[in-house]
Structure 1
Amino acid sequence: MVEITKKEFQQLSDYIKANYGIRLKEEKMTLVTGRLHNVLQQAGFSNFTEYYDHLVSDRTGGAVATLVDRITTNHTYFMREPSHFYYFRDKVLPYLSETVKEKDLRIWCAACSTGEEAYTLAMLMDEFFGRTKMWWDTKILATDIAEQVLDTAKRGIYSRERIEPLPLTWKTSYFKAYDTENSVLIDRIRNEVIYRKLNLMDSLFPFKKKLHTIFCRNVMIYFDNETKCRLVEKFYEHLEYGGYLFIGHSESLNREATRFKYILPSVYRKE
């Protein structure tokens, strides 16, 4: 295995933080080496300096895409941190259904990974609106920086084990058999989610209208405080008044610094 020196790790981690906001501490050296070993081996690089030089000079975007796919953590599952989904169903959707006059819901799943979060929201909204859904635009925007997980999300194919936490009515209504081991979401639900590649570190977000709810969960734990604060401020600017921000249960906002109002642990609102 090609080993990485402290200087090489610092150079690579500085690049990752500057471009993607992810802070890699020195104790992650072994993890980074393991995840990138095959990349260096297949390309014939003898050390990480050669790899870094290739990374910053590559104009095709392929080297960066591979790096992002390898170094990002994409751990997610259906109904993760379920209290958020219950609150969204019981509090947020009733509020939005009464106040959004143009019937155009704008929900964003930032760092959506393999799609379980976005599809959970799509099924929740389908159940909530029922027959009246035809009058609403309930499409969800789901974004991530890793192309590999976006491709997985778009397919909507999950093992029977992965969909086990879902209610039986959802499993029978929203999924169909794909093969002996996997199920696939029906087109009606898959078409409710629009997947796009987006870097949360981009200076501008491509939204023409302000959003009603943002889910950005278990992402900011990888950012330093300055990066986190800048991102939270951008979230605030892109939300409608009365809109909600959901973050991970292991995350919190500095109530002295943020303009968001604390509602519940890991749930905030723009007021």
Structure 2
Amino acid sequence: MSFQHAALEELSRNHAFAGYIVKYKYKSKTLGDLSTQFNIFLPKEAESASVPVLYYLAGLTCTEDTGAWKGGFLRDAAEEGIALVFPDTSPRGANVPGEDDSWDFGTGAGFYLNATEPKFSKHYNMFSFITEELPEVLKSSGLPIDPHRQSIFGHSMGGHGAITLHLLKPGQYRSASAFSPILNPTQAPWGHKAFGGYLAGGTEEGKKWDATELISTAKGRRLNIRIDYGDADQFYQQKQLLPENFVAAARAAGFGEDDVQVQSHSGYDHSYYFISTFGREHIQHHAKYLKA
């Protein structure tokens, strides 16, 4: 499928930290010809050269604006000369029966996978959208992004997306990181709901999209993964995130702290107050690999 002729419509442009953050809209083939929106922050270095890019995947109920507005990432990305891309979290307006019945499934909850359940498979293809279509659209539009220097991070559902995309697309992302990610969704209520709805094979097929199941397939690779979560996170306490399962699987697969670093932080919750506290460290984590 070719995406080279996607026409970007500029919706807004704001000067920020000597660069610009721009919102674009276009019609996505991967999402079944639905319109989608994304924000891109371009540092001042992009005025004269292509710059490395860091994709941010937001969580349940969020949009392309959530991370851009609340994450506090722009100042640090500007200091490092890195572009940030903030895509939406799901297709919008697919009109699939049931997609708006609950907050944690359907609209705003695409889970960064490709659906195989027939009623969702035309539109709910966020994996291909993020890993294939959006990078090609950015390149073909002439935006000053270096396609050979990409990394990815995210929060909660988006943290699940960032880690699984890094594992599923060897060589595409130099590094990955996540705040409070859903790390073993086949063993968590959110995963049961999402995989049971989007995937024809349900939770069993969902193992293909589960970071804890996938980590063993990365044996022999060099991974650059950082994960942070708070022990006061209600979703951690409700066993939605399951970082311990991921750590155990990573260590069993032979990955040490240099490859997969997972840190718990006392007293922190699931909110963007937590994310903004450690956002600078995540940007610096990625800068180390993107600028190498």
TM-score normalised by L of structure 2: 0.27
Instruction: Give the structure with the higher percent strand.
Output: 2
TM-score normalised by L of structure 1: 0.29
